[in-house]
Amino acid sequence: MALTIKYCGLKTPADLDLAVALGVDMVGFMQFPKSPRALPLADIGALVEATRDRAESCVLLVNPDDALVAEVAALRPDWLQLHGDETPARVTEIRDQSGLKVMKAIKVGEAADLEPMPDYATVADRLLLDAKPPKGADRPGGHGNVFDWGLLENVDPDLDFMLAGGLSLTNVGEAIEMVRPFGLDLSSALEREKGIKDHELMRAFMAAVRSAEAALEPTDARKAEAL
């Protein structure tokens, strides 16, 4: 079971170089001023260019207008990640305008929050399930919280998604075993100080993910032999 791993909220060339060396599939850069991980567009452009041919790059936007979409698209990242309240129609507009692949984040707090998944799946290239922000929060994202993974039991197994929100070294193995996501999106879990990546945590998380993947392989192999 090979998960797609995204390290998000990277801010420096050193963060990027380590993520690539660890074998991540995607790296994410924040373009949202209220985030402690936010970067100016010029810095994002430099990191996107430094990522090219090494991993897939993704720029996170929150309810962007057409002008910002155009500015970010001009940097030529591989992906746009929409983490606001964008409707399926707006996701379609942004995807068409930018010409880029789009990942849409869905904020989960209860079963009803998952109902739009099929609608978004028809217009986005990938879905990301994150914890719903705390009431009164001034920025999106899981804020380091875990949502109830049991809510995903009835999700269409053909709907691939990445999992985010409150993942830690102590629960990432359980998340992989219980949820079986397409991939993991990690950001605050890689920090000891808000907005600043900890390189030892970056290494430890990749080791934990690979260990959990390896633990699942014998079971998956037995299932395949039984078919």
The reply to whether 222 falls in a domain is no
pLDDT digits (tens, 9 = 90+) for 195-218: 999 999 999 999 999 999 888 765
Which residues face 57 on adjacent strands?
A: 27
Quick: pLDDT tens for 13-22.
Answer: 999 999 999 9
The CATH number linked to 167 is 3.20.20.70
Indicate whether 69 belongs to any domain.
Answer: yes
15-51 residue pLDDT tens: 999 999 999 999 999 999 989 999 999 999 999 999 9
Is residue 118 one of the residues assigned to a domain? yes
28 inside domain: yes
Task: Note the pTM of the prediction, 2 decimals.
Answer: 0.89
The reply to whether 225 falls in a domain is no
Q: Does residue 226 fall inside a structural domain?
A: no
The CA dihedral of 104, 210, 197, 139, to the nearest 10 degrees, is: 20
**CA–CA dist 134, 212 (Å, integer):** 29
Question: Which range of residues forms the domain containing residue 33?
Answer: 4-217
For residues 110-120, give the mean pLDDT.
95
pLDDT tops 90 at residue 192: no
227 in any annotated domain:
no
**Number of domains within the chain:** 1
Tokens of 133: 């922000």
Q: What is the pLDDT of residue 223?
A: 40
Mean pLDDT of 79-89: 97
Asked whether residue 223 is domain-assigned, the answer is no
